[in-house]
A and B are shown apart, each in its own frame.
Chain A
Amino acid sequence: MAHSLSPECTPLKHEYDACFNTWFEGYLEPAITNANTKGHSQGQRIEYSKLKKEEYDRKCGSIWEKYKDCVQKAVTEKGLGELLSQARQENPLREPPPPDAPGSS
Chain B
Amino acid sequence: MHIFSQSFKYDHSWSHVVIGMWHKYPNPHCTHVVNVDVLDRTIDPITGIIRTERVLGCKQKAPSWIVKLFGGSEDAFVREISFIDPATQTATITSVNLSLSQFATCYERIQYRPMSSTQTAFTQTAEIQARMAMWRSMTDKFEDWLVQRFEQNAISGKAGFSDVLRTMWEAKEKQTAPS
Contact = CB atoms under 8 A, between A and B. Distances in A.
Interface of A: 1-5, 9, 13, 16-17, 20-21, 24-25, 27-29, 31-32, 34-35, 45-46, 48-50, 52-53, 56, 64, 67-68, 71, 74-75, 80, 83-84, 86-87, 91, 93-94, 96-97, 99-100
Given A71-B37, A87-B101, A96-B83, A46 B45 contact: yes
A24 B46 contact: no
Interface of B: 14-15, 18-19, 22-23, 25-26, 33-41, 43-51, 55, 57, 77, 79, 81, 83, 85-90, 92, 94, 96, 98-99, 101, 109, 111, 123
B19 A25 contact: yes
A28 B55 contact: no
Contacts of A4: 35-37
Nearest to B26: A2
Contacts of A28: 15, 18-19, 86
Given A50-B45, A84-B79, A96 B85 contact: yes
Question: Which of A52, A74, A84, A93 has the most CB atoms of chain B within a 10 A radius of its CB?
Answer: A93
Given A2-B36, A31-B48, A75-B55, A80 B98 contact: yes
A13 B37 contact: yes
21 contacts: A2-B26, A4-B36, A21-B19, A28-B18, A29-B15, A31-B48, A35-B86, A35-B88, A45-B48, A45-B87, A49-B44, A50-B45, A53-B43, A64-B41, A68-B38, A84-B55, A87-B79, A87-B96, A87-B101, A96-B85, A99-B90
